[in-house]
Structure 1
Amino acid sequence: MIGDLLAYVSDDLNRYICKNQGLSQDEQKVLLSYVVDQDGSIATNEQNVVLVTLVDLALDPLAYSQRVHSVSGGALTQEIQYNSLHVNLMVLFSAYFKGDRAKDALNYLTLIIQFFQSKASYTRANSPNLPNGVERLEFSMEPLDFNAQNHMWGILGAKYMPSVVYKVRMISFQDDETLDDELIRTVDVVT
């Protein structure tokens, strides 16, 4: 699901950039890609593009992670499933441009920020083709100080590129095929 989701967002951002730059919608200006491969080489042969890279995945500590379903029986009998997991993604959007096109890289970075300012939330209403299992996404810019940026680029094994990091909330992983012994079947309250 994460790959499908980031590919969907990348395609949406690509359409926005192509429209704003007067380019054909067939051009690929946004790529879902690593920044570098495991051998340390640049991960893509394309230049003058935006790279979309997952840099972190973390449990959302504020998310409610259980579902309550009413079942037949007394009014206080409930079935509770603990099989939902909510995570946040940290996604890096970097402008990978040749050195003589630094102005273009910064303009693309501006377009990325404008895009997520105008569409900070993905819902079924504004994005009906969201991948299955995703009902809502919230994008918020994640400010990184110089040390955090240095650390991130060092971990990635790459040289700095003009970039911005967005936190993507709320990816919910749900397995509807729960093992029977994982369920609390009933809760009876005796007064």
Structure 2
Amino acid sequence: MIHSALEFLTQELNSFIKLKVGDPITNRVVLSSVTNEQGIAIPDQSLGLSLINIEEERTSKDQQNRFINAVGKVEKRNPDIQLNLYVLITANFQNRLPNNSSDDYVEGLKQLSYAVAFFQSKSVFTQENSPSLAGFDGDLKKIFVELYSYSFEQLYNFWSVVGAKYLPSVLYKVRTIRVQENAIQQSGDPIEKIYLESRHKP
């Protein structure tokens, strides 16, 4: 479920940037961790889409745990878990290629601006307005993407934790991803009638 949502967003963002730059072939966005043992894991001249945190959405938690299935039986299973994903989009353009203007700081900012423009123009994804969503995971019905601002202190702490120098980046909150394994805990017939027996003392 999580991987499907992020693979879908990576594909959608790639399609948008291909149109903006007029290059239908080259993928400019990769689903990747920010760093690895060798340093920055995002390929040079690329935007990296990275999951940096997962939280449970509690404000709209559905406590219903009994459902009637297609044959009229009552099934008991745990309520859905709703997840919010914090996704960082990072521009890795560090002038590694001499005399190549496509591999410089300004180009990285331009590509990052395309990402911001994309999610500004389309922040809600459904199977109706994005048919490919169903192809990634039929259970993904709707994804909301919103810009998430964090403080300079949080920014400094994050890059200190990952052990890398800061790269231009923007953080998004992707909500809500529903997780339901449909593991049936109990099954039985529904209660259709209630009989009351009253007894009177003589």
The TM tier, using the shorter chain, reads 0.7 to 0.9
State which of 114, 122, 127 in structure 2 corresponds to 1:124: 127
Do the aligned partners of residues 124 and 159 (structure 1) sit closer, same or farther apart at CA in structure 2, a change above 3 Å counting? same
Identity of aligned residues (%): 28
Corresponding residue for residue 147 of structure 2? 141
TM-score by length of 1: 0.84
- Runs of 4+ displaced beyond 6 Å: 183-191
Corresponding residue for residue 167 of structure 1? 173
TM-score by length of 2: 0.80
Matched, 1:19 2:19: yes
Do the aligned partners of residues 55 and 179 (structure 1) sit closer, same or farther apart at CA in structure 2, a change above 3 Å counting? same
Corresponding residue for residue 81 of structure 1? 77
Tell me, which stretches of 5 or more residues in structure 2 are unaligned?
96-102, 197-202
1:54/1:92 contact within 8 Å kept: yes
Q: How many pairs does the alignment contain?
A: 182
Point out the structure with max Rg over C-alpha.
Answer: 2
Please list the CA deviations of residues 31-68 of structure 1 after superposition, one character each: whole Å capped at 9, or x if unmatched. 0011111x252214x31110000000000011223445
State which of 177, 183, 193 in structure 2 corresponds to 1:177: 183
Do the aligned partners of residues 56 and 189 (structure 1) sit closer, same or farther apart at CA in structure 2, a change above 3 Å counting? farther
Please list the CA deviations of residues 6-36 of structure 1 after superposition, one character each: whole Å capped at 9, or x if unmatched. 111101101111110111x221200001111
Matched, 1:65 2:71: no
Corresponding residue for residue 54 of structure 1? 51
1-side partners of 2:52 and 2:167: how far apart? 14
1:66/1:81 contact within 8 Å kept: no
Please list the CA deviations of residues 106-150 of structure 1 after superposition, one character each: whole Å capped at 9, or x if unmatched. 111111111001110111111112122110010010001111111
